[in-house]
Amino acid sequence: MHIVCSSCAAINRIPQGKTTAEANCGKCKKPVFSSKPVNLDDASFDRYIEKNDLPIIVDFWADWCGPCKAMAPTFTKVAAESTDLLFAKLDTQHAEKTGTQVRIRSIPTLIFFHKGVEIERISGALNEHQLKQFIVQCVDKL
C-alpha cells in the first residue's frame, strides 16, 4: 500500500501486515498517517489524491464561510476517530485552481476520493451523524 506522508508529502510504501498508524515516513521520519486533517493547496492536491491507496475525504471550504467554520470541529473530530480513511482540507480561496478543477460550486463541499477517482460529493454543512453516514455510504461504493 502507498500513502503520502501527512507531514512532508513523500510517498511511502507500507509493507503488508503493518498498519498505517505504525508507519513512519522514510524521508522525514514522522508518522505517515495523521489523525488530523491535512491542509492541501494547489501544489499538493493532485499528489495527495492520486498517490494514496487509502480513501480520502476532502473538505473544500473558505475562511469567510460561516457553515464551513461551523462544520470544521465536527470534521476534525471524525478525522481523529478514523484509522483507515484520510482527511484533508482545501481552502478554495487560496487554491482557486484546484477548486475550479474539481468543479466546486458551493462550500462547504465534501468529496470522497479513492485512488484518484471521485466516488461521491455532498455540499452543505453536516453534523457528526450526517458526516459519518456520508462516509459509510461512500465506503460501501468501494
Strand extents, DSSP E, 42-85: 56-61
The verdict on whether 25 is a catalytic residue reads no
Set 5, 25, 28, 65: catalytic member: 65
Angle, CA 81 vertex, CA 103 and CA 72 arms, to 5°: 45
Q: What values do phi and psi take at 113, rounded to 5?
A: -115, 150
Three-class HEC string of 38-49: EEECCCCHHHHH
Give Cβ neighbours of residue 109 (< 8 Å, ≥ 6 apart).
59, 60, 121, 122, 123
Told to judge if 138 belongs to the known catalytic residues of this protein, a careful annotator would answer: no
Q: Which of 8, 25, 28, 68 is catalytic?
A: 68
CA 73 from centroid of its chain's CA atoms: 15
Q: Could you give the residue numbers annotated as active site?
A: 65, 68
